[in-house]
Every structure is written in C-alpha cells, then in structure tokens.
Amino acid sequence: MGGEPVRVGKRGAVVIPAALRRAYGLKEGSIVVAEPAEGGILLRPAAVLPVEVYTAERKAEFLLNNAVTPEDYAWAVEEVKKLGLDPASIPHERPEA
C-alpha cells in the first residue's frame, strides 16, 4: 500500500482511506494513537481495556477475603473501618485461627 494524500478538515479531522481502514481493522469509533514520528505523524490502532472502578465496599470485600492469618484479618478490619464501613456488613469469610 502506497501513501495516499488526505486533507485535514475542521478541528484536525483526517479521513483515513478505506483500504487502510480495512487493512488495520479500523471501524467508526475505533481508537487510534497519534504520536510524533521521524518525518511526520504516526497513527496506530490503540488497545483499549475496560477499567473497573472499585467502590469502598468492594475494596473492603477484597481486604477481608484476602486475610490469611488472624493478624492479617485484624489489619483488614482496621483498614475497612478507615474506609468508614462496618466490617460486619461486608460479605466475607473469616480466616481460621
């Protein structure tokens, strides 16, 4: 595939030629990364992964359920209290002594 001239439109919009979009799997709404490169600008497909934002309750659940020893559990309970939550209200299993 050779280079094909394209025009920069309003707000910097550039139309990527259809053959290049097909070759790189770009569809409407695809995310690309624009970065400086020697001699120009490099556009490449971006990998976008969903990110889960944990609530205080979910963090508390992780802390309490990952405690292995009674000492770990005591520490987790204090951390959950620092989150402003009652450890007894969080579903979890207490480690065996």
The pLDDT assigned to 48 comes to: 86
pLDDT of residue 3: 79
pLDDT of residue 2: 66
Residue by residue, DSSP assigns 19-86 as HHHHHTT--TT--EEEEEETTEEEEEE------PPPPHHHHHHHHHHT--SHHHHHHHHHHHHHTT--
Q: What is the pLDDT of residue 38?
A: 95
What string of pLDDT tens digits covers the 97 residues of the chain?
A: 567 889 999 999 999 999 999 999 999 999 999 999 999 999 999 988 999 899 999 999 999 999 999 999 999 999 999 999 999 999 999 988 7
How far apart are the C-alpha atoms of 10 and 15, rounded to whole Å?
Answer: 11
> Which bin fits 56, alpha (ψ -120 to 50), beta or left (φ > 0)?
alpha
